[in-house]
Structure 1
Amino acid sequence: MDTKTDPKRKSAKPAPKSRDERLKAALRANLQRRKAQARARHASDESDGKDE
């Protein structure tokens, strides 16, 4: 009875196979992160303006 699991198999999504797929995934993740940061900055700017 082996209860240990392979850490490589824990990922929810299988790793992209080609270099192009890896780059596309990295670019997509980076874009989503930047958009989230921009939305957070915009929301904080709006709340700062309402206080005055």
Structure 2
Amino acid sequence: MKGRKEQQDRSADDRKARLAEALRANLMKRKAQARSRRAGAADARPDGLAAAREQKED
């Protein structure tokens, strides 16, 4: 019984992680769209979610 509960917890955690990653990707996409629509030069700053992702992967 314990193994099944752990498996359910793990699958729930995996689902949360997938949803969080999809949300971050969607946010980055929308921010990029907003930046491309505004006038002026593109941002070259390494901040925001992209910077957080780079630190996480290291």
Above 0.5 in TM-score?
yes
Per chain length, whose mean CA-contact separation is higher, i.e. which structure has more relative contact order (CA < 8 Å, sep 6+)? 2
Q: Give the whole-Å Cα distance in 2 for the aligned partners of 1:21 and 1:50.
A: 43
TM-score normalized with structure 2 length: 0.59
Which aligned pairs between 1:20-31 and structure 2 lie closer than 5 A? 20-31=5-16
2:4 is aligned with 1:19 = yes
**Percent of residue pairs bearing the same amino acid type:** 17
User: How many residues matched?
Assistant: 36
Unaligned segments of structure 1, at least 5 residues? 1-16
2:29 is aligned with 1:44 = yes
CA RMSD of aligned residues (A): 1.0
Max Rg structure? 1
Return the structure number with greater helix share. Answer: 2
TM-score normalized with structure 1 length: 0.66
* SS of equivalent residue, structure 1 residue 18: helix
Q: CA deviation at 1:18?
A: 1.1
Q: CA deviation at 1:41?
A: 0.0
